[in-house]
């Protein structure tokens, strides 16, 4: 009898959780497990804002896929997946194809620019290690160049962050720590640097407790961040951005660095594969399967799960992706073993902590509001927990966030 | 009786040597000493190629002027000097003026582009700390961007060094060490990187022993440097350079980074002040004074001293600048003390060592040819010696090049 073939696309939080759980639950005689990922490394998407600001080296936010998979049970294929042909039960890769009996799509998100002109061309997005590295170097290069040029362009020292959501705020927190270092490195007066956060919604961190939002904004303003809340970016240009001011007016903000952190959508593969979707996210069934397909599971940022309490989708987070990965691994293992009973997914929200730089944070953990060093400590524990769950104690010690006194 | 006022322009090798010797030889009752410099720090011009390549942090190549001057005897003025009015005995600063009884012009060099179109606009020059930092960041930014862009431009990974003279060769040596690090940092295959040295003269390192030149070129070629000797750069463009190929043909070399290291001239102040000069360098008299002026001394890269043996000017080096500074300090101290006998300048050439990266070098020291680790060690001693002579043991220990095993 042929062993069933399980293909997992993506070595992010969801994909790695799926594979590391599958390799524990299945023997190599029971199934062939194939993990497909563009890079030979996993990166911590939730730490990329640090690599982008330059406060944490990008090698600290990634580790080799090979360090967490059991090569006796899992075959790793470094490739880019383009499309799922669910009729033929095949994945089309950039260079070849793979058939599957069970497929787990865990490919993460792509930036959502909401059709705002120029954003895709003139703004950076904190999407992966390559992008984070470029943002870091771009900012440094602007500082270095400002110092050299005779006819000084003040906009070289202006950084616009589009969006005061989770990623935007966390990135601003890191910039708050990084800017003084950059000023020292390039002999630049910190008064000349501007960091502007533009958010279209009427408040920063929508969905967060207003008291915590106020705390976060006050903290960031003290570090020099200027907020333009309730202000929509109309266009990104080679010179900066244009924002709406009142009804008809447009204001131009010159900035050499524009980082778009205001929204994500599912991976383009979802649309390419013609799954029913909303902005690249598939509303999965109770077992996290694509509608009408018994063998295709979709988890993480490409999946859409409704929070029944408020009748709105859960935001895509590492936490939900990992819980989905665990469940999918359990269900697929059962199917492989001939047990057709599938467990349904229930999100166990342990809370959310939003970092404000290395020394402060805000959050709600197990239903309790936290700020300051407590929150900051909780954040690091959250970060370490992901490592622990995927790679165990060894990886956590190697890549975790610790401070030894 | 009014104390004579000695003004020294420039805190480079020559200027600092002058001031540190003057402050030893004169009491604060005998003269007012004023040191004028654009920055509040001195930088090691001969180490800038390392800061430019990114192999040595720029803070290691500079130290505060205040750390070597005796503030009880020397007044430091941070200013940019524009012109010397030798009839009125005044120096015109960007913001104000200074009168003098004795003037020492020790302002260093500026890049000489020989009228080659586009070089001033599209090529970098290793001229100061600000420029070195920008070159370092520019190269890194190209690597970071190459990794991100969909439509990859191979020229982002091409670095052209214009000139195989001393600075060009030393910079190539550092790049040889730095490129592998950059490739690792940005996950780039080293095969994709090109480092091309273009030299118009029929040989690299003109004036050096041919055997040593051969050694140097072989060493650098092993590290991946491509040499185009006897090839003239005709133009620098936003895309790279155009070089002469045969009689009429022009070849274009695409390169995101072009560093011009093929020539220097004296500081523009020389021409602005209407001193008789050749490319900004003044042929000084035997006492290092400007022709016809008893109170203006010119040393370092703005001075021109003929090597009688070959009837050609000595190349501008830190070594000659420092010896000139010592002599001028002695002569001015004598004049201040009423002793009108001036000593004449004789260059005591102790040799030259050209670095080929941190682990190799070539040179002639006390008339003996050296290569490899011996030469490399000698080079570091030469570097440390400049620190020792200006700032003593303390500065040498703080800023010197040592490796403790």
The alpha-carbon gap from A265 to the nearest alpha carbon of chain B, in Å, equals: 20
- The whole-chain average pLDDT of chain B stands at 94
Of B330, B296, B298, B299, the C-alpha closest to B101 is B296
Q: What is the pLDDT of residues A77-100, one digit of tens each?
A: 999 999 999 999 999 999 999 999
- Report DSSP state, residue B91: E
Mean pLDDT along residues A355-361: 91
Secondary structure of residue A164 in the 3-state scheme = coil
> Considering only residues 133 to 152 of chain A, which have any Cβ-Cβ distance to chain B shorter than 8 Å?
133-134, 136-138, 140-141, 143-145, 147-148
Searching chain A, which residue's CA lies closest to the CA of residue B188?
A130
Say if residue A6's pLDDT is above 80.
Answer: yes
Question: Residue B225: exposed, middle, or buried by beta-carbon count in 10 A (0-12, 13-18, 19+)?
Answer: buried
Under an 8 A CB cutoff, do B186 and A147 touch? no
Facing B141 at nearest CB: one of A137, A148, A185: A137
What local confidence, expressed as pLDDT, does residue B158 receive? 98
The catalytic residue among A44, A155, A170, A199 is: A170
Q: Within 10 A of B39 (CB to CB), how many other CB atoms are there?
A: 16
ipTM for the predicted complex comes to 0.85
Mean pLDDT along residues A29-58: 96
Contact A46, A94 (CB under 8 A): no
Secondary structure of residue B228 in the 3-state scheme = strand
Say if residue B405's pLDDT is above 60.
Answer: no
CA dihedral B103, B109, B110, B112 (to 10 degrees): 130
Mean pLDDT along residues A2-28: 96
Searching chain B, which residue's CA lies closest to the CA of residue A127?
B148
Contact B264, B301 (CB under 8 A): yes
Searching chain A, which residue's CA lies closest to the CA of residue B59?
A185
Under an 8 A CB cutoff, do B137 and A136 touch? no
Contacts of A338 (CB under 8 A, 6+ apart): none
Say if residue A265's pLDDT is above 70.
Answer: yes
Tell whether A186 lies on the interface with B, counting CB pairs under 8 A: yes
CA distances from A349 to A187, A301, A364 (A): 46, 16, 10
Pairwise CA distance, residues A246 & B167, whole Å = 57
Q: What is the pLDDT of residues A185-230, one digit of tens each?
A: 999 999 999 999 999 999 999 889 999 999 999 999 999 999 999 9
> Taking chain A, what is the end-to-end CA distance rounded to the nearest angstrom?
57
Say if residue A105's pLDDT is above 60.
Answer: yes
Instruction: List chain B residues with CB under 8 Å of A138.
Output: 141, 144
Sort strands B41-43 and B81-85 into parallel, antiparallel or unpaired.
Answer: unpaired
Share of chain A above pLDDT 70, in %: 99
Say if residue A1's pLDDT is above 70.
Answer: no
Share of chain B above pLDDT 70, in %: 99
Band of the pLDDT at B250, cuts 50, 70, 90? very high
Under an 8 A CB cutoff, do B141 and A136 touch? no
Say if residue B95's pLDDT is above 60.
Answer: yes
Instruction: List chain B residues with CB under 8 Å of A130.
Output: 144, 147-148, 187
- Report DSSP state, residue B262: S
Pairwise CA distance, residues A37 & A104, whole Å = 12
Searching chain B, which residue's CA lies closest to the CA of residue A57?
B185
Q: Which has more pLDDT, B397 or B34?
A: B34
Searching chain B, which residue's CA lies closest to the CA of residue A184?
B59
Say if residue A404's pLDDT is above 80.
Answer: no
Under an 8 A CB cutoff, do A140 and B137 touch? yes
Of B159, B153, B161, B157, the C-alpha closest to B185 is B157
Mean pLDDT along residues B106-113: 94
CA dihedral A19, A21, A22, A24 (to 10 degrees): 120
Contact B315, B206 (CB under 8 A): no
The alpha-carbon gap from B10 to the nearest alpha carbon of chain A, in Å, equals: 19
Mean pLDDT along residues B367-392: 87
The secondary element (H helix, E strand) that includes residue A137 is helix A129-148
Band of the pLDDT at B351, cuts 50, 70, 90? confident
What local confidence, expressed as pLDDT, does residue A346 receive? 96
The alpha-carbon gap from B123 to the nearest alpha carbon of chain A, in Å, equals: 13
Mean pLDDT along residues A58-69: 95
Share of chain A above pLDDT 90, in %: 86
Under an 8 A CB cutoff, do A133 and B144 touch? yes
Disruptive mutation site among B128, B137, B183 for chain A (greatest number of A CBs within 10 Å):
B137
Under an 8 A CB cutoff, do A131 and B140 touch? no
Instruction: List chain B residues with CB under 8 Å of A186.
Output: 133
Pairwise CA distance, residues B84 & B104, whole Å = 11
Pairwise CA distance, residues A57 & A64, whole Å = 15
What local confidence, expressed as pLDDT, does residue A405 receive? 44
Size of interface A-B (CB pairs under 8 A): 52
Under an 8 A CB cutoff, do A141 and B136 touch? no
Helix, strand, coil percent content, chain B, rounded in steps of 5: 35, 30, 35
- The whole-chain average pLDDT of chain A stands at 94
Pairwise CA distance, residues B153 & B163, whole Å = 25
Known catalytic membership, residue A308: no
Under an 8 A CB cutoff, do B145 and A134 touch? yes
Contact A105, A299 (CB under 8 A): yes
Disruptive mutation site among A60, A62, A134 for chain B (greatest number of B CBs within 10 Å):
A134
Under an 8 A CB cutoff, do A148 and B130 touch? yes
- Report DSSP state, residue B165: S
Facing B134 at nearest CB: one of A131, A133, A144: A144
Pairwise CA distance, residues A92 & A187, whole Å = 51
Tell whether A287 lies on the interface with B, counting CB pairs under 8 A: no
Contact B94, B82 (CB under 8 A): yes
Facing B144 at nearest CB: one of A134, A185, A187: A134
Domain annotation for chain A: domains and CATH numbers: 5-111+264-349 (3.50.50.100), 119-260 (3.50.50.60)
Facing A148 at nearest CB: one of B131, B185, B187: B131
Under an 8 A CB cutoff, do B148 and A130 touch? yes
Pairwise CA distance, residues A58 & A73, whole Å = 29
């Amino acid at each position: 009898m042929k062993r069933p073939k399980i293909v997992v696309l993506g070595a992010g939080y969801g994909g790695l959780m799926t594979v590391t759980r599958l390799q524990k639950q299945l023997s190599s005689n029971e199934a062939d497990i194939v993990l497909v990922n563009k890079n030979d490394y996993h990166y911590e998407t939730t730490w990329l804002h640090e690599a982008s600001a330059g406060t944490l080296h990008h090698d600290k936010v990634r580790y080799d896929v090979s360090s967490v998979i059991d090569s006796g049970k899992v075959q790793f294929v470094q490739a880019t997946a383009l499309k799922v042909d669910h009729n033929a039960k095949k994945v089309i890769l950039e260079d070849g194809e793979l058939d599957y009996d069970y497929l787990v799509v865990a490919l993460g998100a792509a930036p959502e620019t909401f059709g705002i002109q120029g954003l895709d061309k003139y703004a950076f997005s904190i999407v992966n290690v390559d992008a984070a590295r470029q943002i870091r170097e771009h900012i440094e290069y602007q500082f270095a160049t400002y110092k050299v040029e005779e006819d000084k362009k003040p906009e070289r020292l202006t950084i616009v962050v589009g969006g005061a959501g989770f990623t935007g705020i966390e990135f601003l927190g890191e910039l708050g720590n990084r800017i003084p270092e950059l000023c020292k490195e390039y002999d630049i007066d910190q008064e000349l640097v501007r960091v502007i956060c533009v958010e279209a919604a009427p408040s920063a961190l929508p969905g967060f407790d207003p008291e915590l939002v106020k705390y976060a904004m006050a903290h960031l303003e003290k570090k020099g961040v200027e907020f333009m809340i309730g202000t929509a970016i109309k266009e990104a240009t080679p010179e900066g951005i244009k924002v709406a001011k009142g009804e008809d007016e447009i204001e131009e903000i010159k900035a050499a660095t524009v980082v778009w952190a205001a929204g994500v959508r599912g991976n383009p593969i979802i649309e390419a594969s013609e799954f029913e979707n909303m902005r690249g996210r598939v509303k999965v069934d109770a077992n996290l399967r694509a509608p009408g397909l018994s063998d295709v599971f979709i988890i993480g940022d490409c999946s859409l799960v409704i929070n029944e309490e408020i009748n709105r989708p859960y935001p895509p987070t590492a936490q939900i992706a990992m819980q989905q990965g665990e469940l999918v691994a359990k269900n697929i293992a059962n199917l492989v073993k001939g047990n057709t009973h599938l467990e349904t997914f229930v999100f166990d929200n342990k809370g959310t902590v939003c970092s404000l730089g290395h020394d402060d944070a805000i959050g709600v953990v197990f239903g309790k509001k936290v700020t300051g060093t407590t929150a900051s400590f909780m954040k690091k524990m959250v970060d370490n927990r992901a490592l622990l769950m995927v790679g165990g104690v060894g990886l956590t010690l190697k890549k975790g966030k610790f401070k030894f006194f």
